[in-house]
Amino acid sequence: MSSTSANAVEHAPSPSPGAARALLRRYLDGDEVAHVITLVFAASIILITSLLVYQLWLNSAASRHAFGWHFWISQTWDPVFEHFGALPFIYGTMVTSAVSLVIALPLGLAAAIFLSELAPRNISDTISFLIDLLAAVPSVIYGLLGIFVVVPLMRTTIGPALKGAFGFLHIFSGPNYGVGFLTAGIVLAIMIVPFIISVSREVLLTVPREQREAAMGLGATRWEATWKVVVPWARTGIMGSVFLALARAVGETMAVTMVIGNDPKITASLFAPGYTIAAVIANEFTEATGSLYLSALIELGLVLFLITFILNGLARLLILATERGGGHPV
Amino acid sequence: MMRIRLIWRKSLNVVMLTLTGVAAFAVVSVLFMILGYLIYNGGKSLNWAFFTQLPKPVGETGGGMANAIVGSMKLLVLAALMGLPVGLIAGVYLAEFGGRTFAFIVRYTTDLLNGVPSIVMGIFAYSLVVLPMKHFSTWAGGVALGIMVIPITLRATEEFLHSVPNSLREGAMALGASKWKTIATVILPAAKGGIITGMLLSLARVAGETAPLLFTAFGNQFWSPGFNQPIASLPVMIYTYAIAPYEDWHRQAWAAGLVLLGLVLLANVGTRLALSRGGGSRSV
């Protein structure tokens, strides 16, 4: 903070010759030069990001002009006749993300509560460290385990069990191939749970101690104090962690590509193979013959970018709001 | 009546609190399951040939991924050369020079860039490098990874520069050092450990990236001299070998997975431990 105010003073214009000499001295000292150079590098990040958006916009022009809004509602994905619609991929992305969130949110929130409210500090730190490592595992490794461990497990154990218990529901009916929405959702859940845990834990730790003490002083059990006081206090930040995790699930490519089955169909059954936006880009980009095909894939990339942009922006706002203490319930 | 309610509340307390513990240990156990599977399956398949030989053509068993190991290293070096300086210098700007509005915009854009899905980063590098060059190349892969390195390095640099006490800045300036001299000789050395940690973590992260390389660096069954040809990398090799229908390729995919995971986790554990022991201020 003091450096900014010092800067402001230095930049104040003054017409005297002494000031001119001081300015010259600063140039010779290199301060202004260093300022400008670092400024250029900082600006380059804005430039790179704008260039990214521009390139996506530019290279998807052919597809945007050819299909317009129809791109969003068409279910046909036909490279041979060059007719492209994004709906099956948007559907697949939404379903897999939703499944992963349904699994990861309770698991992650529970673990975060354990780490912030119950575990002694050193155990909590050790577990958090291990969970950070889980977040560092490359997604292709998750894909590898997905193919050779989760898919067989799904085919032989999880799938039949779910069918036996909930087979009357539409989402748990139909043939079970092992690959599909549910498998992708499970793998995604494991990948995003570390993000929910680490952000939620930080947020829960910022809840003032008095809140817990007051609740327990009124006779609440530990769980009641946590669930009815601490968690509601931190809910904005927890929502932030959910959006962060959701952005990650939506953009995740390799692990999903390897277990979703890669079939652009809209099916109610979670056992059915599907396709996501990221997966179709990964699979078909190098094979895309013809500029319209490539352009359609790049338009899908633009869609993906916009979705994650919005989700990340929301997440950041929510987490910021909690950390500034604005997260308490009214 | 009150008594029953109390028993209910107390047992609910015990059950729910136990469940939170179970959830935490379940998540951690996934890490050990991942490690276990890779050490078991990868360890079985890992041999000397893996590190020294080229991939064998389809149908022949044996061979290795020497070219992919070297390829991954080449891509990482390119990414480091392109991304680290940008992240570092821009981080210095944010921490030492930045005003209010512009610094906020840069910070926000950095977070935005960090959140861009890796596959979209691949499209970006494709349109930036592959389209003009008209072929896949090591350069393109390096650019894709290099851009991904920038945000993490930048945020780590800024954070650790902020953690340097202001008294150091004031002390240096009181001795007559100019601002950039203060930064170069006092502030940066003081924050060195944390910044290097951030850099290593960012490299460890992109080392495992597959999606941005699929249509930039592409892949290669042979050595790739120079930087103008498509190049093999460990993550892409794992992907192609895992989804291929050959038993022997699956074996090699596990071996490659073990090597990649080992390197990534080693970098993470090493830097984090070094940081906590060195008394660095906060984790990245």
Interface predicted TM-score (ipTM): 0.92
Residues A61-80, mean pLDDT to the nearest whole number: 90
Residue burial A85-124, b: 16+ Cβ < 10 Å; e: rest: bbbbbbbbbebbbebbbebbbebbbbbbbbbbbbbeeeeb
Which of A214-228, A242-256, B45-59 is least confident? B45-59
Those residues whose C-beta lies under 8 Å from the C-beta of residue B220, and which sit 6 or more positions away, are: B67, B71, B229, B230, B231, B232
Residue A15: per-residue pLDDT: 54
Task: Give the distance from residue B277's alpha carbon to the nearest chain A alpha carbon, in angstroms.
Answer: 14
The answer to whether B90 contacts A44, with C-beta atoms less than 8 Å apart, is yes
Is the per-residue pLDDT at B133 higher than 80? yes
- Which residues of chain B have a CB within 8 Å of the CB of A138? 207-210, 235, 260-261, 264
Residue of B nearest to A4 (CA): B99
Residue in A280, A276, A271, A274 with CA at minimum distance from that of residue A178: A271
Is the per-residue pLDDT at A8 higher than 80? no
Residue burial B245-257, b: 16+ Cβ < 10 Å; e: rest: eeebbbbbbbbbb
The pLDDT tens digits for A73-108 are 889 898 888 889 999 999 999 999 999 999 999 999
SS3 assignment, position B62: coil
- Which residues of chain A have a CB within 8 Å of the CB of B13? 221-224
- Which residues of chain B have a CB within 8 Å of the CB of A45? 86, 90, 106, 109-110, 113, 150-151, 154
Residue A32: per-residue pLDDT: 82
Distance of alpha carbon A151 from alpha carbon B134, whole angstroms: 38
Closest residue to B20, CB basis, from A43, A111, A148 = A111
Those residues whose C-beta lies under 8 Å from the C-beta of residue A321, and which sit 6 or more positions away, are: A236, A237, A240, A327
**Burial class of residue A326 in the structure, from the number of CB atoms within 10 Å of its CB (0-12 exposed, 13-18 middle, 19+ buried):** exposed
The DSSP 8-state label assigned to residue B213 in this structure reads: G
Residue type, B184: A
Residue A96: per-residue pLDDT: 96
Closest residue to B109, CB basis, from A4, A49, A286 = A49
Q: Is A329:A233 a contact under the CB 8 Å cutoff?
A: yes
Residue of A nearest to B90 (CA): A42
Residue tagged 């309610």 (tokens): B5
The answer to whether A312 contacts B111, with C-beta atoms less than 8 Å apart, is yes
CB proximity A111 to B under 8 Å = yes
Distance of alpha carbon B112 from alpha carbon B104, whole angstroms: 12
Residue in A105, A80, A85 with CA at minimum distance from that of residue A245: A105
CA distances from A81 to A275, A292, B145 (A): 20, 11, 35
The pLDDT tens digits for B189-229 are 999 988 998 999 999 999 999 999 999 999 988 898 889 89
Residue in A239, A238, A200, A251 with CA at minimum distance from that of residue A97: A251
The answer to whether B128 contacts A285, with C-beta atoms less than 8 Å apart, is no
Distance of alpha carbon B11 from alpha carbon A27, whole angstroms: 72
Mean pLDDT over each residue of chain B, to the nearest integer: 91
Closest residue to A49, CB basis, from B12, B97, B113 = B113
Distance of alpha carbon A202 from alpha carbon A206, whole angstroms: 7
Q: Is B130:A21 a contact under the CB 8 Å cutoff?
A: no
SS3 assignment, position B111: helix
The answer to whether B179 contacts A59, with C-beta atoms less than 8 Å apart, is no
For the entire predicted model, the pTM comes to: 0.89
Residue B98: per-residue pLDDT: 80
The answer to whether B257 contacts A140, with C-beta atoms less than 8 Å apart, is yes
Residues A31-51, mean pLDDT to the nearest whole number: 91
Element spanning A77, H or E: strand A77-78
- B104, B127, B261: best mutation site toward chain A, by most A Cβ within 10 Å? B127
More confident residue, B235 or B60: B235
The pLDDT tens digits for B237-274 are 999 999 999 988 999 999 999 999 999 999 999 988 88
Per-residue pLDDT band at B149 (split at 50, 70, 90): very high
CB proximity A3 to B under 8 Å = yes
Is the per-residue pLDDT at A220 higher than 60? yes
Q: Is A142:A260 a contact under the CB 8 Å cutoff?
A: no
Q: Is B106:B90 a contact under the CB 8 Å cutoff?
A: yes
Residue of B nearest to A251 (CA): B117
More confident residue, A324 or A282: A282
Residues in chain B: 284
Per-residue pLDDT band at A27 (split at 50, 70, 90): low
Q: Is B147:B124 a contact under the CB 8 Å cutoff?
A: yes
Distance of alpha carbon B80 from alpha carbon B73, whole angstroms: 10
Residue A17: per-residue pLDDT: 67
And the tokens for B60? 């022949």
